[in-house]
């Protein structure tokens, strides 16, 4: 939760030293030891008051080494080491106190503080819990246990700690600060997703602590989650005045810029954010998005790489890195990143699509086909994936499968010309000429000049022996481009067989124009010209044919 790293909720209990100075607590020891221990404690207190903490610690340690190892001596050592921020030694001393005097009123609490300072959240929480068993109304221990549970992500268990702490605060002294407890309570509610309650708490806390940076930071995070952009902007600008490089404020402004498509501003805020939060995966990721949207592809790739470095299993970071590398043309690198993303989410549709496209462009047709098929199973309405799958199946010669894939495309888009043509090609190759012709007709109704549809329709009609219709579509094609020589020749044969020599001559001539070395078309051209009474033109055609293929002379003489 934003801000809880900085908040200092706890303090060392000074009650022991005050008691020692008053002399109102009798250490647990023998009558013979008591005068020596009291002397050592008095000397230690005097040295500590002069700031000579090491000397004070030596005084107490000497007493412990000479048989005066009492709870009070260990507690004093613990306090001195705590003041020196030597949490490890302080922990050891307070742990010794709890062994010597399990019911000691402050040792378990102070032990919890030492553990908390070392981020040992679970044992710290247990120490605070023991302190509460000894003194149930110690609100500081409730606060301490609540914080540790927050650190452990146990928000539901933490909530009652703060609620219990607030009950005892009014009767406490100057150290009782309800705001600190309410803040912890708000963090717990935030973790439980009870955002409206959290917002109400933050609103109550803010007027009393308008410059509390941790409160502002958490309120910004909450407002981002609630998509309250007005408050995000207001709080972020206020926090930046207090902390010019406050990460949560920069994150808030960057999030607003991204949501409004102001990628230049998002990149500006994001660049500042990664400088102060270089270990934030989210900051690098969002910066990558902003940079990519503003055309700074190489910088975006570098930002995504940083995000992946920080969180190698991030689906989003790997997916965006893959997309950026793919945009740059690095298909191999893109495939590696996409596969990393799929390890985190094997059914991410966008990643499957991008990886399939990368594989197809790399020439890995089978892998691409498998990926498109997986995508269709996950997202049956993804028509573009069905189209690419159908194309690969058609190219592989799996015509029936291809027809089924293209049929998916046509369920929602009946006038999709590309799908109609390819579905027709698949049906044609499967021997279903009627379906093929129907699809080509539908495609031409949408796009009358579609050359592939014109060519395919004419060819199918030739196979169906529909010479008149075939000639119509052939001439339509011929009016916009030169037909393929094979189509021209086959239609010419069909027309010649039907006795339409003039039309056949037209087709053979078209075949020869496309392929001047097409000797068989020249031979047949001569035949239909002769039948049309054009003997001289026929001899010229035959002469050209035999010059290309002398063996045709034998056929010519038959």
CA distance 321 to 303: 9
Residues 28 and 154 occupy one common structural domain: yes
Residues 176 and 255 occupy one common structural domain: no
Residues 90 and 169 occupy one common structural domain: yes
DSSP assignment of 119-169: T-HHHHHHHHHHHHHH-TT-HHHHHHHHHHHHHTT-HHHHHHHHHHHHHHG
**Burial code of 463-473, b = ≥16 C-beta within 10 A, e = fewer?**
eeebbebbbeb
Q: How confident is the model at residue 17 (pLDDT cuts 50, 70, 90)?
A: very low
Q: Is residue 427 over pLDDT 50?
A: yes
- DSSP secondary structure letter of residue 266: H
End position of a domain, from candidates 311, 343, 358: 311
Predicted confidence at residue 25, as pLDDT, reads: 29
DSSP assignment of 398-442: -HHHHHHHHHHHHHH-TT-HHHHHHHHHHHHHTT-HHHHHHHHHH
CA distance 183 to 205: 8
CB contact set of 161 (below 8 Å; sequence gap of 6+)? 142, 143, 145, 146, 149, 184
Mean pLDDT of 88-108: 91
Whether residue 439 contacts residue 457, with contact meaning beta carbons closer than 8 Å, is answered with no
Predicted confidence at residue 19, as pLDDT, reads: 34
End position of a domain, from candidates 311, 334, 365: 311
Predicted confidence at residue 105, as pLDDT, reads: 84
- Backbone dihedral angles phi then psi of residue 379, each to the nearest 5 degrees: -130, 80
Q: Which long-range contacts (CB under 8 A, 24 or more apart) does 317-325 make?
A: 317/281, 317/284, 317/285, 317/288, 318/344, 319/348, 319/350, 319/351, 319/354, 320/285, 320/288, 320/289, 320/292, 321/288, 322/351, 322/354, 322/355, 322/358, 323/354, 324/288, 324/292, 324/297, 324/300, 325/301
Q: Is residue 285 over pLDDT 70?
A: yes
In a domain, 110, yes or no: yes
In a domain, 363, yes or no: no
Q: Which residue shows structure tokens 């052939």?
A: 474
Predicted confidence at residue 513, as pLDDT, reads: 95
| Closest by CA position to 257, among listed 242, 244, 276, 272 | 272
- DSSP secondary structure letter of residue 447: -
Out of 67-71, 371-375, 440-444, 482-486, pick the least confident: 67-71
The helix (run of H) or strand (run of E) holding residue 5 is: none
Residues 94 and 172 occupy one common structural domain: yes
Q: Is residue 14 over pLDDT 60?
A: no
| HSE-up of residue 399 (Cα within 13 Å, Cβ side) | 10
CA distance 522 to 540: 9
Q: Is residue 375 over pLDDT 60?
A: yes
Residues 199 and 188 occupy one common structural domain: no
Residues 266 and 307 occupy one common structural domain: yes
- Backbone dihedral angles phi then psi of residue 28, each to the nearest 5 degrees: -80, 100
Residues 7 and 107 occupy one common structural domain: yes
| Cα Rg of the chain, angstroms | 42
Mean pLDDT of 38-61: 77
Residues 141 and 236 occupy one common structural domain: no
Encode pLDDT of 66-78 as tens digits: 777 788 888 888 8
Out of 49-58, 77-86, 283-292, 312-321, pick the least confident: 49-58
Predicted confidence at residue 117, as pLDDT, reads: 93
Predicted confidence at residue 137, as pLDDT, reads: 86
Encode pLDDT of 484-532 as tens digits: 999 999 999 999 999 999 999 999 999 999 999 999 999 999 999 999 9
Tally of structural domains, the chain: 3
- Backbone dihedral angles phi then psi of residue 29, each to the nearest 5 degrees: -165, 175
Residues 181 and 198 occupy one common structural domain: no
Residues 203 and 222 occupy one common structural domain: yes
DSSP assignment of 84-127: TT-HHHHHHHHHHHHHH-TT-TTHHHHHHHHHHHTT-HHHHHHH
Q: Which residue shows structure tokens 């009291």?
A: 38
Predicted confidence at residue 170, as pLDDT, reads: 56
**In the predicted model, what is the mean pLDDT of the chain?**
87
Predicted confidence at residue 554, as pLDDT, reads: 61
- DSSP secondary structure letter of residue 484: P
Mean pLDDT of 134-141: 89
Q: How confident is the model at residue 58 (pLDDT cuts 50, 70, 90)?
A: confident
Q: Structural domain of residue 265, as residue ranges?
A: 193-311
In a domain, 429, yes or no: no
The angle that helices 229-242 and 213-225 make with each other, rounded to 10 degrees, is 160
Most confidently modeled range among 222-231, 287-296, 537-546: 287-296
CB contact set of 52 (below 8 Å; sequence gap of 6+)? none
Residues 161 and 79 occupy one common structural domain: yes
Most confidently modeled range among 15-24, 45-54, 245-254: 245-254
Predicted confidence at residue 225, as pLDDT, reads: 87
Q: Which long-range contacts (CB under 8 A, 24 or more apart) does 448-454 make?
A: 448/476, 449/480, 450/417, 450/421, 451/477, 451/480, 451/481, 452/421, 453/417, 453/420, 453/421, 453/424
CATH, residue 544: 1.25.40.10
In a domain, 516, yes or no: yes
Mean pLDDT of 195-224: 87
Encode pLDDT of 232-262 as tens digits: 999 999 999 999 999 999 999 999 999 999 9
End position of a domain, from candidates 166, 192, 218: 192
Q: How confident is the model at residue 11 (pLDDT cuts 50, 70, 90)?
A: very low
Residues 272 and 128 occupy one common structural domain: no
In a domain, 432, yes or no: no
Predicted confidence at residue 209, as pLDDT, reads: 83
For the chain, the residue count is 558
């Amino acid at each position: 939760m934003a801000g809880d790293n900085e908040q200092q909720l706890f303090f060392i209990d000074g009650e022991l030293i005050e008691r020692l100075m008053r002399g109102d607590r009798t250490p647990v020891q023998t009558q013979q030891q008591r005068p020596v221990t009291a002397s050592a404690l008095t000397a230690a207190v005097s040295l500590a008051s002069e700031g000579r903490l090491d000397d004070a610690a030596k005084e107490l340690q000497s007493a412990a080494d000479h048989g005066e190892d009492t709870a009070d001596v260990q507690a004093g050592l613990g306090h001195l080491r705590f003041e020196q921020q030597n949490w490890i030694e302080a922990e050891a001393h307070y742990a010794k106190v709890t062994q010597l005097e399990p019911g000691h009123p402050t040792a378990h609490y102070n032990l919890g503080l030492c553990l908390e300072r070392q981020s040992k959240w679970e044992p710290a929480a247990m120490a605070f819990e023991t302190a509460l068993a000894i003194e149930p109304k110690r609100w500081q221990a409730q606060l301490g246990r609540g914080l540790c549970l927050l650190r452990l992500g146990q928000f539901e268990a933490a909530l009652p700690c703060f609620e219990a702490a607030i009950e005892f605060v009014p009767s406490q002294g100057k150290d009782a600060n309800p705001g600190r407890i309410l803040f912890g309570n708000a963090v717990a509610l935030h973790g439980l997703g009870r955002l409206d309650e959290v917002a109400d708490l933050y609103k109550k806390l803010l007027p009393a602590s308008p410059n509390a940076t941790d409160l502002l930071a958490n309120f910004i995070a909450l407002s981002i989650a609630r998509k309250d952009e007005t408050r995000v902007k207001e709080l972020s600008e206020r926090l930046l005045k207090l902390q010019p490089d406050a990460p949560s404020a920069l994150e808030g402004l960057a999030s607003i810029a991204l949501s409004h498509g102001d990628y230049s501003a998002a990149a500006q805020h994001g660049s500042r954010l990664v400088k102060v939060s270089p270990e934030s995966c989210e900051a690098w990721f969002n910066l990558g998005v902003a940079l990519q949207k503003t055309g700074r592809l190489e910088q975006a790739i570098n930002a995504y790489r940083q995000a992946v470095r920080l969180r190698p299993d991030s689906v989003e970071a790997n997916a965006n890195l893959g997309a950026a590398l793919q945009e740059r043309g690095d298909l191999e690198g893109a495939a590696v990143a996409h596969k990393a993303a799929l390890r985190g989410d094997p059914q991410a549709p966008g990643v499957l699509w991008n990886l399939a496209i990368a594989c197809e462009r790399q020439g890995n047709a089978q892998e691409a086909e498998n990926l498109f098929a997986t995508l269709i199973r996950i997202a049956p309405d993804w028509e573009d994936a069905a189209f690419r799958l159908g194309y690969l199946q058609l190219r592989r010669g799996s015509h029936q499968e291809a027809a089924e894939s293209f049929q998916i495309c046509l369920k929602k888009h009946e006038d999709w010309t590309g799908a109609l043509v390819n579905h027709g090609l698949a049906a044609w190759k499967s021997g279903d000429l009627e379906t093929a012709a129907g699809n080509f007709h539908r495609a031409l109704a949408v796009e009358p000049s579609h050359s592939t549809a014109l060519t395919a329709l004419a060819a199918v009609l030739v196979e169906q022996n529909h010479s008149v219709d075939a000639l119509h579509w052939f001439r339509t094609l011929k009016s916009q481009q030169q037909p393929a020589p094979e189509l021209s020749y086959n239609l010419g044969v069909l027309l010649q067989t039907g006795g339409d020599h003039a039309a056949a001559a037209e087709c053979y001539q078209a075949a020869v124009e496309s392929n001047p070395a097409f000797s068989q078309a020249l031979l047949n051209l001569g035949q239909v010209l002769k039948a049309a009474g054009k003997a001289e033109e026929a001899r010229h055609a035959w002469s050209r044919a035999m010059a290309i293929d002398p063996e045709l002379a034998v056929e010519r003489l038959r």
